Amino acid sequence: MKPCMRLRATRKNISYGGNVMPCTTILVGKDASYNGSTLIARNDDSGSGHFTAKKFVVVEAGDQPRHYKSVISHVEVELPDDPMRYTATPNATKDEGGIWAAAGVNEENISMTATETITSNERVLGADPLVELVEAVKDADDKEITPEKAGGIGEEDIVILVLPYIHSAREGVIRLGSLLEKYGTYEMNGIAFADVNEVWWLETIGGHHWIARRVEDDHYVVMPNQFGMDRFDMNDAYGDKKENLCSADLRDFIEKNHLDLAIGDNEGWINPRDIFGSHSDADHVYNTPRAWFMERYLNPREYMWDGEDADYTPESDNIPWTLEPEKKITVEDVKYVLSSHYQGTEFDPYGTTGDASKHGKYRSIGVNRTSFLALTEIRPDVPEDHRAIEWIAFGSNVFNAFVPFYTNVSGMPEYMSCTTGQVSTDSFYWANRLIGVLADASYKKSINHIERYQENVQKKGREIIAKYDAAQETVGAGDREALRMKANQEIADMIRKETDYTLDKVLLESSNQMKNQYSRSDA
């Protein structure tokens, strides 16, 4: 080596936290939903200080790559030759690299959402480190001394690697689990899968391990950026595998690294949240309050949620992962809880009563930097070719509208799919971002316009879906897709009209509250 030769080892400043997408997820089993559908929904939130533009598209089988390389981790994966068509909600620009397909439904009505960033602890990450990209070491002459070491798979990649190839929710768990074991991951994530009968939830553990559980049919699950599962049947996971699945060596991994903190014989049951998760002070501001609000709304009478005698508070570490709701859960319920800013409590950042020091104390579920909300509804009483509906909202959920689309189509309307990095009211994403900013600035004056907007769009969306569900019963299979495409365009035209109208209203309200206003008209 030459004297004083400088070695360069560059490593991407990803931090495996810098690109973290803080999100909130709710999963609903078929017997807990209003119409027997499985429901999985997730807010996809941009990291602090930036906003990720999104679009809603269809990926045809011919456009799915056969060789995949991750932009973030540089991992390369060979893919099967038989992908299916699927919907996706990718980034509209390449600012963060990669596609980030995020959520969708394939042509066999299997849905997934990926990912919910979750927490871990030092004992787990020390025992099974995350698989991070390490770039090549080069000398001063740019000659490679040590080759690059690729990282694992992550949020950028998971939908593309899994959704086009799975034929059931369980199969999604198994495929993703095998990819995690082979390639590892550079981050902690939770991923949901659903088909017409089942909902499954998978959580990653360290770099290569994973755990998954079937959501009970009459239960719902809440996930607020924290390791979630609080009960897991190891005997089933290593036996019949009916409700519980995990990486093959998970039991040995736990025992070898002394991870189980339970006292006494747990008869094959473990608490994954205690073993693999976190209980930090930050959780009590950022994560647990979200679980508290969602369950407080869906199970208001079963537990005491407020006051000195509360069973659970916003800072409780033991809020249940899954509960049986007190009434059947609707799409509207899901939208409401995933739009929450703790309305009706003293923690509402828009609140005007109570202790002002508590307003905005906890991180809201519906934050300013939500990129999109997607809910997939797999309906059991509808023919397979139009069974799946995907509900989409863009921008801050407090102020946006939720709209349904058929997924088994060859493309999405331009209003949903045309998003670019340029602000334009021709895009549903940007129009809703503008509405949110303006309505937030004039909250008291604008909230009535927002409520009308949200109600009108969901009502009219349901009307259009019902009309075209009926229309498809009168034609042959070959003509049904054309009807679904027509329905989606009719929905897009409707929401554009409603969105433009609402934008005009909140623009006027905010304009009238500008600091340079003056009450007297010029003479």
Indicate which residues carry an active-site annotation. Answer: 23
CA dist 313 and 306 (Å) reads 7
3-class SS at 67?
strand
| Token pair recorded at residue 113 | 């959402």
Question: Which residues, at least 6 apart from 503, have a Cβ–Cβ distance to it below 8 Å?
Answer: 425, 431, 434, 435, 438
Question: Which residues, at least 6 apart from 317, have a Cβ–Cβ distance to it below 8 Å?
Answer: 279, 283, 288
Burial zone of 451 (CB within 10 Å; 0-12 exposed, 13-18 middle, 19+ buried)? exposed
Other beta carbons within 10 angstroms of residue 330's beta carbon come to 14
CB of 115 closer than 8 Å to CB of 191:
yes
CA dist 393 and 399 (Å) reads 10
Parallel, antiparallel, or unpaired: how do β-strands 269-270 and 8-9 relate? unpaired
3-class SS at 157?
coil
Parallel, antiparallel, or unpaired: how do β-strands 38-45 and 370-378 relate? antiparallel
| 3-state helix/strand/coil string of 276-331 | HCCCCCCHHHHCHHHHHHHHHHHCCCCCCCCCCCCCCCCCCCCCCCEECCCCCECH
